[in-house]
Amino acid sequence: MIAIYDSGIGGASVLMALRELAPDVDILYLADQARCPYGNRTQADIQSIALECAAWLTSQGAAPIVLACNTASAAALGALRARYPQTSFVGMVPAVKPAAQRSISGVIGIMATAATLQGELLADVTRTHAPHLKVVGQACVGLVDFVEAGDTDSVTVRAAVATHVAPLVAAGADVIVLGCTHYPFLRTAIAAAAPGVTLIDPAPAVAQQALRTAIAQGIPTAGRGRTDYYTTGDAAHVRWQIDALGLPTGIVRALVLEDHQ
141 by Cβ neighbours in 10 Å (0-12 / 13-18 / 19+) ranks as middle
Host domain of residue 245:
2-92+204-254
Look at residue 43 and tell me if it is in a domain: yes
Assigned domain for 261 exists: no
Residues 148 and 19 in one domain: no
pLDDT above 90 (res 34): yes
pLDDT given for residue 258 in this prediction: 66
Number of domains in the chain: 2
| Whether residue 63 is found in the same domain as residue 125 | no
pLDDT one-digit tens code per residue, 89-113: 999 988 999 999 999 999 999 999 9
Q: In what order do the strands lie in the sheet with 89-91?
A: 89-91, 65-67, 2-6, 27-31, 227-231, 251-254
**In this prediction, what percent of the chain has a pLDDT beyond 70?**
98
Distance CA 225, CA 213 (A): 18
Give the pLDDT band of residue 259 (cuts 50, 70, 90).
very low
pLDDT at 45 over 60: yes
Q: Computed from CA positions of residues 102, 77, 59, 215, in that sequence, does the dihedral angle turn out positive or negative?
A: positive
Q: What is the CATH number of the domain that holds 140?
A: 3.40.50.1860
In 3D space, the residue among 243, 168, 175 whose CA is nearest the CA of residue 12 turns out to be: 243
What pLDDT does residue 161 have?
A: 98
Active site residue 36: no
Q: Quick one: which of 5, 10, 8, 24 has its CA closest to 80?
A: 5
Answer for the pair 32, 232: CB distance below 8 angstroms, yes or no: yes
Question: For residue 249, what pLDDT band results from cuts at 50, 70 and 90?
Answer: very high
pLDDT of residue 257: 85
- Is there a catalytic annotation at residue 180? yes
pTM (two decimals): 0.93
Checking if the pLDDT of 214 tops 60, the result is: yes
Residue 62 lies in a domain: yes
Return the pLDDT at 158. Answer: 98
Tell me what the pLDDT averaged over the chain comes to: 94
Catalytic residue (choose from 36, 53, 140, 180): 180
**pLDDT over threshold 50, residue 260:** no
Task: State how far Cα 116 lies from the chain centre.
Answer: 11
- In this prediction, residues 149-176 reach a mean pLDDT of 97
